Structures are given as C-alpha cells and as structure tokens.
Amino acid sequence: MEEKLVISPDTKRENRLPPGQKVVKKLPVLQYDGIPQIDIDKWRFKVWGCVEREIELTFGEFKSLPTVKVYSDVHCVTGWSKLGIKWKGVSSRTIADICKPKGANFAIVHSADGYKTNISLENFLEEDVVFAWEMDEREIPTEHGYPVRLVVPRLYFWKSAKWVVGVRFTEEDEEGYWESRGYHNRGNPWKEERYKQREWYDYDG
Ligand SMILES: Nc1nc2c(c(=O)[nH]1)N[C@H]1C(S)=C(S)[C@@H](COP(=O)(O)O)O[C@H]1N2
Ligand SMILES: [Mo]
C-alpha cells in the first residue's frame, strides 16, 4: 500500500516560528508527573463514546493499520519550538474512518499517566494529525510517548498527548489536564492562544 506523506502546512510558512517562540535544537522532555511504565502486552488503543464502532487494538493490530508520514514543527506553550520532526503512524482520519464518530464535536485523548486533553473534532481531523509510533525514523523513545503519541502540529504541544491509550468522542466539550488549569481551550500558536483570558474576579485581591 502506498504510504501518504503529509507536509504540515505551517512548515511551509516564510517565517516558521510563531510569535513569542524560540528554537531549541533538542526536543525537551516535559510531563506533568512521571514517565509511566507501559507493559506493551497489556497496552491497548481504545476508541469509544460517540462512535458507530468502538475499537480496542493491541500494539500489533494498531501498527497494521494504514500508515502516514507527517513532517511537522512543534511549539510548546512555555516558549520553545523544535523545527522539522518526521513522524510515522496512523492518521486521525483513519481512526475516524474506522470508528465513524456520530454526533461528536470533540475528541478527548486519554493517556497512561492519567493525562487528558480535548481537541475539537475539526482540529482532530486536520490532515497532519497523527498517532505516531515513530519519531525521526526510530521507535518513539519512552520519554517522548512510547508506544504511541498523538501529534497535533497546528496547536501548542500540550495537545500532543504522549503514551496514548485511547480516544473518547463526545458531544460536549470537556477540559483536559492543562485546559482545566488555565491553558487556552484551543491553543493556536499563531494566535498566541496560550492561557485563558483572566476574568475580572481574578484581580479581586
Ligand atoms: N501523557 C502526557 N502527554 C503530554 C504531557 C503530559 O504531561 N502527559 N505534557 C504535554 C506537554 S505540556 C508538552 S510540552 C509535550 C512534551 O512532549 P515531549 O516531552 O515529547 O517534548 O507533551 C505533552 N503531552
Ligand atoms: Mo508544554
């Protein structure tokens, strides 16, 4: 089967660096807590919620799905960007083709460390969104999300969940780990959607 190559459109911009960002040479390692230990024999990729078909796949089954290669930059909300990463994995569109979201408006991505993040269905279905198991032509290292990490190149990197164990499609929006701690709900780096607008009551003493 022919493998698709997707060049994330933001990498083709004349200025690839979003406002307020600095380029780093090496991808930093960041997570809210520890790096989870994953037993690959017990690991499953699950999709449930507002879908016509729920799935639960082993790593072998997941890797036998059609693959896509994505070339993208990543931008962390804390101010660093890493340019030019090669990902390989399963397109979010392939997952949607298999599971057929029905009445869904959001994808809530769940990880083995308890991390969650919410992505609108529209953003989730962009062509360059990939559940990757390879980064720069090697298996994704444990600290970067082995066995599977999501990559959402057009949004700040906190939306790119590491150690993914599943996706739940929902009708209603549901804030994830960082979204419920003040991060912006969408997180478009080109609009600097870093944090939620503070309300007037936040300034009250
Ligand atoms: N499961 C999980 N995924 C996560 C996080 C996390 O804490 N847990 N942190 C996010 C944040 S804030 C960033 S910047 C990136 C960091 O990815 P990296 O360690 O591969 O650079 O992972 C994102 N995905
Ligand atoms: Mo981040």
The pTM for the full model equals: 0.96
pLDDT over 70 at 2, yes or no = no
pLDDT tens across 56-78, in order? 999 999 999 999 999 999 999 99
pLDDT value at residue 202: 59
For ligand 1, atom 20: residue with the closest CA: 144
Q: What residue segments make up the domains of the chain, in order of their start?
A: 4-11+42-173
Q: Which CATH class is domain 4-11+42-173?
A: alpha beta
pLDDT value at residue 3: 83
Beta pairing class for 55-57 and 80-91 = unpaired
Q: For residues 153-182, give the mean pLDDT.
A: 98
For ligand 1, atom 13: residue with the closest CA: 158
pLDDT over 60 at 204, yes or no = no
Half-sphere exposure of 104 (CA within 13 A, CB side): 27
pLDDT value at residue 189: 98
Residues 6+ apart with CB under 8 A from 69: 3, 4, 5, 6, 86, 87, 88
Query: For residue 198, what are its two tokens?
Result: 């503070």
pLDDT-derived band at 1 (thresholds 50, 70, 90) equals low
What residues does ligand 1 touch, defined as CB less than 6 Å away? Answer: 27-32, 76, 111, 113, 115, 144, 157-158, 160-163
